[in-house]
Amino acid sequence: MSCLSFTPRRRYLVQFEPKRSQHTFADVLIIGGGIAGIRAALAVDPKLQTIVITKDKLIQSNSVYAQGGIAGVMDPLDDVENHAADTIAAGKGLCNPDIVDMVVREAPESIQTLIDYGAKFDKVDGEIALTREGGHSHPRVVHALGDATGKEVMRALIDTIRNNATSRVWERTFTIDLLTFDGQCRGAVVWSERHGKTFIWAKQTILATGGAGQLFRETTNPSIATADGHAIAFRAGAELRDMELMQFHPTVLYIAGSSRHLISEAVRGEGAILRDASGYQFMQDVDPKAELAPRDVVSRAITNQMAKTNHPCVYLDVTHKEDTFIRERFPHINKVCAEFGLDITRDLIPVRPGAHYMIGGISVDENGKSTLPGLWGAGEVTSTGLHGANRLGSNSLLEGLVFGRRAGEGASALASSMEDDFRVPPLVSTWERHKRDDEELNLVDMRNSLNSLMWRNVGIQRDAEGLSEAVRQVEFWGRYASSREFFDPQGWELQNLLLVSRLMVISAEARRESRGVHWRSDFPDTDEALAQHQSISVE
């Protein structure tokens, strides 16, 4: 493993003093209310007191927007060795085979647990329906509500956690920073509009904050995916890994001026064809698997075809499929497209790639334990070794389930072994405030500029010149944005995005090869000598 380092400008984003703050205590603190966070909460011993923090309403998470489904061996013609082999093949040399084996073996049980919680998956003739997606050798993706799997899974999980008497859920609460003392994570300082800053002291803390798609102008992620977990873990001293690895989804609905909507990989799994502006089916020239090639291959092919044709998108064609089947299989996509006057059974769907899934994140072991004592991680905020350099479709919700349970059980066991201690550590954060003439920053403009820079220079195709420009610009913005103390989430999110952008660029510069989702036009080949992870930590 190669090791990088970087020193953030400030340990804590806000000033605080314990005597002037309000405090609460928990056995286990879980930051994040998606599939990994709630599954972790449900795995905690009910004798313990758990607090779940979510920055928006509980129904708002990346997990809710997941369309495709959950991969798991449910067909007797399939087996876990096939699932593992497909995952490792997609991961381009960076998967941990032991982690892959563990996760795919636990997949059927994890899916059954969701059914026990009340999730209703689509069925055919009384049996769970399975579909195939790009990179999978067999149909093994379970789905719900056609193309709204995340919505149904999260409904079941949220209903379950709401009825859990020992878990308190704090919605619309922003986590500013993790609290550390004597080399251990001791909880977090959070903020809500109603209560202001509050210190939550916990015996064990689990981060399940999701992704970082809002680093980029084009993304499938909702507005909450601002890399907060990556940033707060790094500032607290936890090791991060493979921060250059952001997966771009090939097919995002492209309507100029509108918000972007994911067009599930399952559409191609059911036979959709990618065509360029002239109607040509270009994927047949790129990969033997054509539309079912891994996501990194399809994303680059689309980008190249857009450049060749000088057209802002390509098109998904499902018009050759039976009308009723398409509408029933993809009701959400059908509805979204109809809002723009598109009939997916008659019209081509304009698509282009967008940032989708952050593969890099907090380094964790097989149970979700990070390098910082007292801190655990689960889901998209982590780097577990499952995805390698390119995530196989529908393995993400699966990872959240498996590691959510494992982190919840591990944190619960440690918390149970610790005595209650309601003393507040003498932890103080102060610095001299600097008066500046330009005190009022246009945060929206800065964030839009950062998104455009990252999309242009650190997106699907990268090179040394573009990465160097990105370093200079992000450093410039960081000097005056990170020197201020903000008092609401808009400012803290910008500071987090700037920090994680810097970590991503540093990591992308250091990986001088092309591997999986990381494509360097100046180093287009894969170097087997570099088939290793890159860690980055505070210098």
Q: Beta strands 50-53 and 22-31: pairing type?
A: parallel
Instruction: Tell me if residue 262 falls in helix, strand or coil.
Output: strand
Task: Write down all domains in the chain, each with its CATH number in brackets.
Answer: 23-245+359-416 (3.50.50.60), 249-354 (3.90.700.10), 436-519 (1.20.58.100)
Q: What pLDDT is recorded for position 433?
A: 63
Of 391, 398, 515, 383, nearest to 87 (Cα)?
391
Given a contact cutoff of 8 angstroms between Cβ atoms, the answer to whether 333 and 342 are in contact is no
What HEC string does 78-111 produce? CCHHHHHHHHHHHCCCCCCHHHHHHHHHHHHHHH
Q: Which residue has the tokens 């455009």?
A: 452
Of 170, 209, 188, 164, nearest to 48 (Cα)?
164
Q: What pLDDT is recorded for position 521?
A: 95
> How many residues are there in the chain?
539
Q: What pLDDT is recorded for position 377?
A: 98
The DSSP result for 428-441, as a single string, is -B--PPPP-TT-S-
Q: What pLDDT is recorded for position 15?
A: 92
Q: Which residue has the tokens 């700037």?
A: 498
Q: What pLDDT is recorded for position 245?
A: 98
Catalytic residue numbers?
295
Q: What is the pLDDT along the chain (539 residues), one digit of tens a residue?
A: 789 988 888 899 999 988 888 999 999 999 999 999 999 999 999 999 999 999 998 888 878 877 779 999 999 999 999 999 999 999 999 999 999 999 999 999 999 999 999 999 999 989 999 988 878 999 999 999 887 898 999 999 999 999 988 899 999 999 999 999 999 999 999 999 988 999 999 999 999 999 999 999 999 898 999 999 999 999 999 999 999 999 999 999 998 877 678 888 888 888 999 999 999 999 999 999 899 888 888 999 999 999 999 999 999 999 999 999 988 888 888 888 999 999 999 999 999 999 999 999 999 999 999 999 999 999 999 999 999 999 998 999 999 999 999 999 999 999 999 999 988 998 888 877 655 544 678 899 999 999 999 999 999 999 999 999 999 999 999 988 888 899 999 999 999 999 999 999 999 999 999 999 999 999 999 999 999 999 999 98
Q: What pLDDT is recorded for position 105?
A: 97
Give the Cβ contact number of residue 416 at 10 Å. Answer: 15
Of 514, 519, 477, nearest to 494 (Cα)?
477
Q: Specify the pTM.
A: 0.93
Q: Which amino acid is at 530?
A: L
- Distance separating alpha carbons of residues 158 and 52, to the nearest angstrom: 12
Q: What pLDDT is recorded for position 437?
A: 46
Q: Which residue has the tokens 């600097």?
A: 434
- Distance separating alpha carbons of residues 214 and 530, to the nearest angstrom: 28
Q: Count of alpha carbons within 13 Å of 35, Cβ hemisphere only?
A: 31
- Distance separating alpha carbons of residues 68 and 359, to the nearest angstrom: 18
